[in-house]
Amino acid sequence: MAKRVNSKNTKAEILEAFAELKKEKSALEAEINQLSQESKTTTKTSVNSISKQPEKEVTKFMNLNQTRNKPSMQYTIENLLMVQSGFGGAISELSEKLTSEATKLEEVRQQVTEEIQQLNNLHSLENIEENTLDNLIQQYEQSAKEFETEFSDRQEELQQEIESSKQTWSKEQQEHQRNIKERNEQQDKTRQRDEETYEYDLNLQYNLDIDQYEQNKKNLYKELEEFQQQQEKIWSEREQSISEREKEFAEVKTEVENFKKELESNINNGKENGRNIGTYQAKVKSDLLAKEVEGEKQFYELRIQSLQQTIQNQEQRIKNLSAQLDSTLTQVQDLAVKAIEGASNSRSFQAMKEIVMEQKNQQKKS
């Protein structure tokens, strides 16, 4: 069913409605022609069948008469009854077919009436004549031409607007590209300036760190030198003490040896000069001197062992201190290398300072 159109519809909608009307017109004409042909064909067929059926009955009747060859009243009556029955059946069949065709014709008329009503509702037609559809088609064709002209004009305007929009867009695009280029150049300048500032600050900080590191290293070496001087002083004092003890030990040893010689000399002199002096007194004195010498000998031997043990302990202590000093110097060198490579200078200095203080505390405890 075609759409109803008015002055507000677009050209495309009007053309679509026009095409649908053409299709509906062609379909109605074809359906009417088909129904007319079917009606004629059916009527002709029915009449022919009705006219042929009695002929068949008569032929059959004649054949029966010829076969039987019995011109009796009974056979004549039977044949008439058969002919009557054949006419009745043909008339009944013809009546049914006519009724069916009348029903179909009524349906076609109803469809035509509905189509006319649809056209009336669609186009607000009051009187539908034979040329109404042609007039509608002509009006649609005229409207289509007008819409084609309007569409062409509108298309040309739109094309001009599109070209203008393209030119405007091209200008805006060029302006946008220029703005992007300026922005990128500004960003490059800003980034380069930031990089230069960062590099300058980094170099400045690096130089400051180097200066601080050198100062810390000087302070550390100064503390190490003071510590080493203090250690050397302690070692010198201990060596002097050991030397004095060794000297004292040598003196005591010399005294013991001199005492032995003096004792032997006194014994010999006593034998020569006082052989006649009381043997008992000489023996007692000799025993006392021997015991005294033995006691002094044991005392000095114990003294010597004690001094030797002290010397061994001091030598072992000196070795331990030397090892600790070497370890401290190694740690200081490692920390200095790490500080040069970029480690935290303040922490390195603090670590070295803690090591030095720990060594000092150990020296004080020992």
Question: How buried is 50 (Cβ within 10 angstroms: 0-12 exposed, 13-18 middle, 19+ buried)?
Answer: middle
What is the average pLDDT across 71-92? 64
- 2 close to 24: Cβ distance less than 8 angstroms: yes
Q: What is the pLDDT of residue 74?
A: 66
Confidence of residue 129 (pLDDT cuts 50, 70, 90): low
Look at residue 33 and tell me whether its pLDDT is greater than 60. yes
Q: Could you tell me which of 46, 139, 60 has the C-alpha nearest to residue 94?
A: 46
pLDDT band at 147 (very low <50, low <70, confident <90, very high): confident
Q: How far apart are CA 159 and CA 199, in angstroms?
A: 58
Q: What is the pLDDT of residues 181-195, one digit of tens each?
A: 998 888 888 888 888
Name the pLDDT band for 127 (thresholds 50, 70, 90): low
Q: What one-letter code names the amino acid at 363? A: Q
Question: Any residues with CB less than 8 A from the CB of 315 and at least 6 apart, and which?
Answer: none
Average confidence (pLDDT) over 97-117: 78
Q: Which amino acid type is present at position 215? A: Q
The letter for the amino acid at 288 is L
Which of 180 and 234 is assigned the larger pLDDT?
180
* CA–CA distance, 249 with 301 (Å, rounded to integer): 9
What does pLDDT average to over the chain?
69
Per-residue model confidence (pLDDT) at position 236: 81
